Structures are given as C-alpha cells and as structure tokens.
Amino acid sequence: MLSRGWIKKLLNSNMLQYFSMKPKISTATGDKGDTDLIGKKRIKKSDVRIHAIGSLDELNCLLGVVISQIDHFIDIREDLIKIQKVLFSIGANLADESGNIFDGLSEDLIKDLEEKSTILENALPELISFILPGGSTLGALFHQSRSVCRRAERWIVDLSRNNLIDENILKYINRLSDYLFLVARKINEDTGKQETIWKK
C-alpha cells in the first residue's frame, strides 16, 4: 500500500532503479545465508529483522488461506484483504532500515481495528474462562492466524530493542491479534460450533 509520500521518496532516491529491475526469483545470491534489505544492505537470514519480516509474511500467507475458505462472511473477507495490504506495507517498512523511504503507519488503521473488535466483542457471550483453539475449520484457522500474529509481534518487539520502529506498527499488530481472536469466536458461534472451555 504505497502512499503518495512513499512514491515521492522513491522517486527522489536511488531506490527507483532497485524497484524497476526485472524481477528474477532465483538469483543464488542468498546461497550463503544472506539477503538484501531495501537499499541493498546484506544481512543474515537469521537476523531478528528477517525473523520479523518473515513472520509477517507467514501471517499474510495464512490469511490468504483463510480468505480462500470464506464463503458467507463477506465483510470479514474484505477486511482481511485490507489487512493483508497493511501487513505487506509493514514488512516493507521493516525492510527499510534507513527509515527514509516509507511513511509511518496511519493511526486510522489502528482505530479501524479497535472499532471492529468492539463490535465483535459486544456481539459475543462474555468470556469467563480460557478456551481451546478449534471449533469450525475456519474458526481454527483464525486461531492459528492469531498465534502467528503474536509471534510476529514478539519478533518486532525484539527488533525494537535496538532499532527505531514506528510505534504504530506494534500497536496495529497487537490490535490485530485481538481482532483475529474475536473473529474466530464469532465465526464459531455463527456456525453453531460450541467453544471448548479449558480445564485442568
């Protein structure tokens, strides 16, 4: 989701050549365990920054699976496509170590998730105990997505210990995991799948 500000910065930077190169999937440049950040800086694929970006990519792929399984919850499907675009933008932001190309994440995106989560929570029975992930196949996939989202959040937090990270990124990812949890509960309720209460 490139904003006008991002595009302007790209036009004024030497990154235009990088983005306009003919894409090639297999380059063999990562055979020794290194990869490029935006700006062509090489870092190890085991670097915390790559763990954060990779976890976001994994979450985005998993949401793609979820979207492919949605037939009746059209509003949620449309929301997830928007979320995928935001996740892609966050990954690009984290790949820009200089912080000079990509703009910060809009506060409106966070508020949108908060509002949707509030609506979902008000429509659900009060949660008075821990529940086990599961229910319908779709509900279980949302629980899995929430778990991967939390892992991405942990890696971004780790990255932020020694790097300047847009605080709205952490806020958004935190809100997103709550939203995914609530959607999992809502879908299970709407499909008649009873929640399993955790007991010792």
Structural domains of the chain, with CATH: 4-190 (1.20.1200.10)
Q: Which pLDDT score is estimated for 13?
A: 46
**Which pTM does this prediction carry?**
0.82
What average pLDDT does the segment 118-145 reach? 93
Assign 83 a pLDDT band (cuts: 50, 70, 90): very high
Least confident of 31-45, 54-68, 154-168, 172-186: 31-45
CA-to-CA separations, 171 to 94, 157, 165, in angstroms, rounded: 15, 11, 11
Per-residue model confidence as pLDDT tens digits over 23-74: 666 565 555 567 766 666 767 777 898 999 999 999 999 999 999 999 888 8
Q: Where are the alpha helices (DSSP H) in 23-73?
A: 48-69
Q: Is the dihedral of CA 16, 22, 23, 27 positive or negative?
A: negative
